[in-house]
Amino acid sequence: RGLREVGDTVVFSGFQRADLNTTFLVDVSLHIGGRSTYWDAGRNYFMYYQASERRWAISFHDPAAWAASGGAGDDPLSD
């Protein structure tokens, strides 16, 4: 997979899932694992640091489902 950092953005290419081949923009107001998160333009996917694993991950985020669950569940934003 291709990864390119440009200032406060990360650009991915080479994923089989075309929707992940996009630009992620930093959100300095939301931290997970002690680091800023990065979001796609639609805020449907975000990249976050898994401190316990010492790696970055990309996760789908459904704001309506997350809100309906009261912020609980498997979404990393629930931590």
pLDDT string in tens for the chain (79-residue length)? 555 545 688 888 999 999 899 999 999 888 889 989 999 999 999 999 999 999 999 998 877 776 676 666 556 665 5
Sheet arrangement for strand 2-6: 2-6, 9-13, 23-32, 35-39, 45-50, 55-60
Which residues are CB-neighbours of 9 under 8 A, at least 6 positions away? 23, 24, 25, 26, 38
Are the CB atoms for 33 and 50 separated by under 8 Å?
Answer: yes
pTM, whole model, 2 decimals?
0.77
